[in-house]
Structure 1
């Protein structure tokens, strides 16, 4: 009886383990496989790592790992949680959420709005026929250059040099279409003259 109790106690003791990931994961199959060092004399290889549906990651070497061993079988472990101390975002307010990596990239759902940090790396949107932004006030692009490979359409007026230009492009087109020139030195016959600048400058 005592032996059975001791055996049960050992199984309970062996149900959970805490350690560090010690090698890059095998991310090629349907389930990610990792190696975890649980103690000075215990390293477990070929551990399956369970992740929530819709979320995946490749934890770097040195990441903390919590391992569950069903029935206390140390040869049949599953990594159920990970934490990389060096890159974990800190100081989140209650209710805030973030997706991040060890390069500094993040998507941060703050209490004041969503903030995307590219960490100096490109941001690319692929394989979509349309991108729609429904903004109630404005869309602002702080960039020295906007490069568009195709047609630009605008449902309203366009103003360039918005800080100093008093007219939209439609207004400037109306001025152009109705402008005239002063002509001096008119001569008869086949002579030609060059006109002055338009009377309407803008």
Structure 2
């Protein structure tokens, strides 16, 4: 009896198409079984997070009234593209398709790994201190070859 109740209150399926994200609520088509295909299921996502999982993602549905046609997606995961290797206490954002990750590491560091190798910032970046990969501290470094007038200097020196 209890198993039957859970079966109608929850559903586990897979997305069959890309999510639709052009309206007020994101929706997705979910296949629960060979005979059960639900279209335009609303997806609840935590405020501030952006997520559009690719087709084939696992979808957990809640059917509040016990009717599958009256269900919403409350969680999703993609086995192929999920982030692997997180340590206890770590959190972050991960795009497995592109390979980009922002990881709040257990030791307090923030690791940004862009899949394209490029980080794009629209706006101003303010940093208390900035040290380049080559060890040059931008707030306190020198330049060689300083001359008067419109001459240029050599590159920064640590």
Deviations 1:143-183 (A, max 9, x none): xxxxxxxxxxx8755234xxxxxxxx6xx65xx8xxxxxxx
Is 1:139–2:131 an aligned residue pair? yes
- Classify the secondary structure of the residue corresponding to 2:142: coil
Q: Does the residue aligned with 1:14 lie in a helix, a strand or coil? A: helix
Match of 2:37? Answer: 43
Deviations 1:81-126 (CA, angstroms, capped at 9, x unpaired): 0001111111211101121112111101112311111112432111
Instruction: Tell me the TM-score normalized by structure 2.
Output: 0.79
Change (3 A) 1:155 1:125: closer
What corresponds to 2:91 in structure 1?
97
Contiguous gaps of at least 5 residues in structure 2 = 149-158
Q: Which runs of 5+ in 1 are unaligned?
A: 1-5, 143-153, 161-168, 177-202
What is the alpha-carbon distance in structure 1 between the residues aligned to residue 13 and residue 139 of structure 2? 59
Q: CA RMSD in A?
A: 2.4
Corresponding residue for residue 57 of structure 1: 51
Residue matched to 1:117: 113
SS at match of 2:70: coil
Query: In the alignment, is the contact (CA less than 8 A) between 1:63 and 1:82 conserved in 2?
Result: yes
Q: What is the number of residues matched between the two proteins? A: 143
- The runs of 4+ residues in structure 1 deviating greater than 6 Å are none
More strand by share: 2
Structure ranking higher on relative contact order (CA contacts 8 Å, 6+ apart): 2
